[in-house]
Structures are given as structure tokens and as C-alpha cells.
Amino acid sequence: MWQLPVTIAVVLLSQGIYSRNTGDPGFLPSPSINWMRGVAARMSRNNNNEQTMDEGPFDRVMYNNSQVWKACGTDDKFQQELAKLKNNNMIAMWGGNVTCLDIMVRAPYVKKLNESFGKSKINFEVIIENLQDAIDNENPPVETLELDNRQGKKPSNRMYLGRPKTYRQVEADSVNESHRLSWQAYHRLTDIHGYLDYLGETYPQICSVKTIGSSVQGRPIKMIKISNGRAGNKAIWMDGGIHAREWISPASVTYIINQIVLKYDSDPLLESVDWYITPVLNPDGYEYSHNVDRLWRKNRRGSGFCTGTDLNRNFGHKWGGPGASANPCAETYRGNSAFSEPETTAVRNFISQPNIPWKAYLSFHSYGQYILYPWGFDSSVPADYRELDRVGQKAVAAIQQVGGPRYALGSSGKLLYPATGGSDDWAKGTMGIKYAYTLELRDNGRYGFVLPAHYIQPTAAEAYAAVRAIVSEV
């Protein structure tokens, strides 16, 4: 996400990081210790430009007794207070806008922060009493087989024997004998890629799967194309999972894929489109968020003492400006150059191919409940912003018509704050794709990044309604 909800979610790390094996809840390593861990891991790699998958085992990052707060401030003192806390490494930003921010605060500073907020007259309320409990309860309890599925164990060949005769026979809302996705739990990368492969094998008339590149650690970046090959179809790009911790994004994108395939032979709108969809653009980060740190955001590029590049600050349009950090330790680190990362390069190389009639670029994030269009690099808007707003309003209405909340609509730099190097700015500003949107899915701060799995289907249904509304207008 752009790090931007409506009010402040303050995450208080009361226990910090400790080993699940040793069970030492009193140990809270300093940032320098964490950096040295990263250095030690990287020293074991070969001295070349390739980076292997994370060596482990790693201690899992825990958030026991952490809290989520909501708070806002309207004066300069509020911003200055948070900037000071951030500079002193007492907090990390989650998101926000001009007057309200999401921040993560380490437990040793909880009392001090309470006192500081009190003196500064910053009001707040505790939204989540224990963040680790929220993480532990994010996915529902399941039987052993389904647990294995979510943990990324490869399906057996038996899972691919079923061959429905028509697209409508695909089971949309339950795990069947052909794939593992349930849209009732957050699944691992193996399940997601296995689902794409299943569709390609089962429906070769309309589904083809392509690896458009590889991640820093060598994982495939898989894209599915859904098309009848008809001349004159418009081309639509969709992606998810560019930020690792935003699990609702890949879940919603795969749900949209399922709906398109399920309804393809009975819906002229779906048949009039060549769909290009990549559910997980950041496969390394996504796996790391499951294995080690649930709140990991960036990719897994080694970078000095720190790790990772924010892929949504690495695209080439107005790269390196406001809202993108030059500090490799920052969560919004932009990389050492535009398209320095193989994940963003893969998107650039594919979309830059000639003779694809791109009409829309849709990127799914969380959280905040926004539909955003360019520009993000500053508070200006494109010359055709009224048209972007008109189509966006259709999507806002469609979400409400299926029972969803009202999403805020506007240019990201104006509605929120400037952030350069975003994919939607690049899609419109460099590639000339007229309708470029970032959809920040649920919620608006009650759960934030740890949205319980029972919200997957309603959130994804809203996203699908928004996609149909946009595609029908472009």
C-alpha cells in the first residue's frame, strides 16, 4: 500500500523479536543486531550478482502484546513528534495521510509514547490489544490437509486429474480435486502458482501461463493470460502482491481470476478482453511474510546492512522524488536506480512489448479502501483526470452495490500525499495506458494488514465488481 489510511494505526511492539525455539520473550535486538544478522546471512552467499533464497532457519518475528492504536493530529507539532520518533528508531510508519499516520512502535517505548502523546494532546484509542493474537487468528483453524496446503506443500498429481467440460463447472468458492485455493484462507505461493498451472492445463483454449521473469531469489513471477484470441479485444493488466504483507491482494486477484474463468463463456464483457494477470509480483517477500515476518513489505534484495527494496517506489516515472527513501533501511527504499529490481523489470519488459492494445492497468494493494489514480509523484492531476474520476466513480458505486463500503476516490498525491516511483504513474506517464488505478482494499484500520480470512470473499467480490465496472467503461 501507499502507507496511507484515514486514521493512525500505531503498532506497539511490546516483545519485539525473539526465537520461537528458545522462547526468550525478553530479548529485543537493536536495529544494529538485526542488520548484522542480515550481513552474516549474506556473507554465506557466493560473491556474484545472483542471490539465493533466504538462508535459515530464521527466528520468527513475533508481536506478542503489541497494540494497534488510532490517533490523529492536525498541527505541525503532531508531524514533528512522529518524525522525531521515527528518526530515533522508536517507530516505523505503517501508513496514513497528511493528518493521520499508521506507525509501529517498539514496546520499550510504549510508556514514553503514552506520555509524549499526552503532553502533545494527541488523542488515540487502542484498536487491537495484542497484535500477535490478531496474526495468529488471521487464518482459520483447519484440518491437517488444508494446513499442509496453506503451508505450501506441492499438490500431488492426483489433484490435476479432474477436467471439467465447461468453464462454468469450475467450483468458485471451495477447494475441489483440481486445485487448492479456497478463498477462505490465505494460501502460500505454491498453491497460488499451482492454481494458475491448473487453469492452464485444464482450459488451454482460453488460459495460458507464462513466467515473465524471476525474483531476486529466483522464484518465478507467473502471469496468466485469459483470452479467446479474438482480434479487437482490449488488453487489461492486473497485478497483486507487490507488497509482501498485503495478503488480501493476491487472495482477491486469484478470486477475480476464478470469477473470470467461471463465467467466461456466458459473459460477453469477459470475452471481449485479453486479461493479463499476475497475482504475486513479489514472491520472495510474500514467502518471507509467511515464514519469518508477517509484516514484511519489501522484496528480499540484500542492500548493505539492510534488506529489501520497495517495489512500488522502483518504477521509472519520476523515480527518486518525494515519498521514496534513499535509505536502504527504510521500508520505502526506492532502490539504487529505477527498475533496479528484477520484479519491476519483468513488468516493464512485458508491458513494453509492441502490439498489445493496453486499455487499463489495475494494481491491487491494501489497506485503506481507496481507488487511486495518478499522479502520485505530486499533488497535480493528469489532463484527463475528469475521465479517470468518472470511471472511478463507476467502480465506487459498483462496490457499494454488492454490499461493500464506500471507497474514497482521487489522485494519490492529492488525496493522500506524494510518493514517487509507483507502478500506476509509470503505466500512465511512461507507457501511455489511459486508465491506471491502484485499488487499496479493505479495511480502513480496524485490522490493517492482518485482515481476518473471513473477509477474503466479501473483499474480493468488491474488487471483482470494481474491475467489471472499470472494464465496461474503457
Measuring CA to CA, which residue among 195, 199, 203 is closest to residue 175? 195
Q: Are residues 201 and 297 in the same domain?
A: yes
Instruction: Using the 3D structure, point to which of 112, 136, 160 is the last residue of a domain.
Output: 136
Q: Cα–Cα distance between 409 and 388 in angstroms, integer?
A: 10
Place of cell 499508521: 102
Q: Are residues 52 and 180 in the same domain?
A: no
- For residue 5, tell me if it sits in a domain: no
Which parts of 167-307 fold into alpha helices (H)? 189-202, 248-263, 268-271, 283-291
The predicted structure's pLDDT at residue 3: 53
Measuring CA to CA, which residue among 340, 338, 339, 317 is closest to residue 424? 317
Q: Cα–Cα distance between 106 and 60 in angstroms, integer?
A: 16
In the sheet that holds 273-278, the strands lie side by side as 207-214, 220-226, 273-278, 234-239, 358-366, 435-441, 370-373, 408-411
Q: Cα–Cα distance between 285 and 256 in angstroms, integer?
A: 22
Under the banding of pLDDT at 50, 70 and 90, the label for residue 170 is very low
**Confidence check: pLDDT of 21 > 90:** no
Q: Which residue has the higher pLDDT, 259 or 156?
A: 259
- How does the average pLDDT of the chain come out, rounded? 83
Instruction: Using the 3D structure, point to which of 78, 112, 136 is the last residue of a domain.
Output: 136
Going by the DSSP 8-state scheme, the letter that residue 343 receives in this structure is H
pLDDT in tens, 203-220: 999 999 999 999 999 999
Measuring CA to CA, which residue among 175, 126, 185 is closest to residue 151? 185
Strand, helix or coil for residue 349? helix
Q: How far does Cα 205 stand from its chain's mean position?
A: 30
Instruction: Using the 3D structure, point to which of 103, 136, 169 is the last residue of a domain.
Output: 136
Q: Please tell me which of 11-20, 138-147, 156-165 the model is most confident about, judged by mean pLDDT.
A: 138-147
Q: Cα–Cα distance between 446 and 102 in angstroms, integer?
A: 12
**Confidence check: pLDDT of 174 > 70:** no
- For residue 20, tell me if it sits in a domain: yes
Q: Are residues 237 and 368 in the same domain?
A: yes
pLDDT in tens, 232-287: 999 999 999 999 999 999 999 999 999 999 999 999 999 999 999 999 999 999 99
- For residue 1, tell me if it sits in a domain: no
- CATH number reported for the structural domain that contains residue 344 in this entry: 3.40.630.10
Q: Are residues 97 and 169 in the same domain?
A: no
Under the banding of pLDDT at 50, 70 and 90, the label for residue 142 is low
Q: Please tell me which of 14-23, 153-162, 185-194 the model is most confident about, judged by mean pLDDT.
A: 185-194
Q: What is the DSSP string of 3-20?
A: S--SS--EEEESS-B--T
Instruction: Give the Å distances, CA to CA, from 83 to 78, 92, 202, 262, 398.
Output: 9, 10, 53, 49, 38
Under the banding of pLDDT at 50, 70 and 90, the label for residue 25 is very low
The predicted structure's pLDDT at residue 18: 32
Strand, helix or coil for residue 167? helix
What pTM does this model have?
Answer: 0.85
Q: Are residues 221 and 108 in the same domain?
A: no
**Does residue 82 contact residue 91 with C-beta atoms inside 8 Å?**
yes
Q: How far does Cα 9 stand from its chain's mean position?
A: 18
Q: Are residues 199 and 100 in the same domain?
A: no
Q: Are residues 109 and 154 in the same domain?
A: no
Under the banding of pLDDT at 50, 70 and 90, the label for residue 122 is confident
Q: Please tell me which of 103-112, 154-163, 407-416 the model is most confident about, judged by mean pLDDT.
A: 407-416
Active site residue 287: no
- For residue 195, tell me if it sits in a domain: yes
**How many domains is the chain partitioned into structurally?**
2
Q: Are residues 155 and 72 in the same domain?
A: no
The predicted structure's pLDDT at residue 72: 86
Q: Cα–Cα distance between 190 and 175 in angstroms, integer?
A: 15
Instruction: Give the Å distances, CA to CA, from 238 to 159, 191, 192, 461.
Output: 27, 19, 15, 15
- For residue 236, tell me if it sits in a domain: yes
Say how many C-beta atoms besides its own lie within 10 A of residue 28's C-beta.
16
Output Rg (C-alpha) for the chain, integer angstroms: 22
CB burial of residue 134 (10 Å; 0-12, 13-18, 19+): buried
Q: Are residues 198 and 126 in the same domain?
A: no
Domain with 421, as residue range(s), is: 144-473
Residues pairing with 410 in the sheet? 372
% of the chain residues with pLDDT over 70 = 80
The predicted structure's pLDDT at residue 156: 40
Task: Report cis status (omega within 30 of 0) of the bond before 407.
Answer: no
- For residue 308, tell me if it sits in a domain: yes
- CATH number reported for the structural domain that contains residue 27 in this entry: 3.30.70.340
Q: Are residues 127 and 181 in the same domain?
A: no
pLDDT in tens, 446-470: 899 999 999 999 999 999 999 999 9
Give the CA count within 13 Å in the CB-facing half-sphere of 370. Answer: 28
Lowest mean pLDDT among 13-22, 67-76, 229-238, 362-371: 13-22
**Confidence check: pLDDT of 157 > 80:** no
Q: Are residues 217 and 329 in the same domain?
A: yes
Q: Which residue has the higher pLDDT, 23 or 363?
A: 363
Place of cell 479485444: 233
For residue 334, the one-letter residue type is R
Q: Spot the catalytic one: 81, 138, 343, 440.
A: 440
Which parts of 305-442 fold into alpha helices (H)? 342-351, 385-401, 412-415, 423-429
pLDDT in tens, 284-336: 999 999 999 999 999 999 855 689 999 999 999 999 999 999 999 888 999 99
Q: Are residues 314 and 376 in the same domain?
A: yes
Measuring CA to CA, which residue among 364, 382, 365, 231 is closest to residue 373? 382
Place of cell 498541527: 75
Q: Residue 332 has which C-alpha cell? A: 520505502
Q: Which residue has the higher pLDDT, 361 or 94?
A: 361
- For residue 288, tell me if it sits in a domain: yes
pLDDT, average across residues 184-191: 97
In the sheet that holds 124-128, the strands lie side by side as 91-96, 101-106, 10-13, 67-71, 124-128
Residues pairing with 71 in the sheet? 124
Q: Which residue has the higher pLDDT, 341 or 59?
A: 341
**Helix 189-202 and helix 283-291, axial crossing angle in degrees, nearest 10:** 130
- For residue 2, tell me if it sits in a domain: no
Q: Cα–Cα distance between 466 and 302 in angstroms, integer?
A: 37
Q: What are phi and psi of 291, to 5 degrees?
A: -90, -35
The predicted structure's pLDDT at residue 149: 55
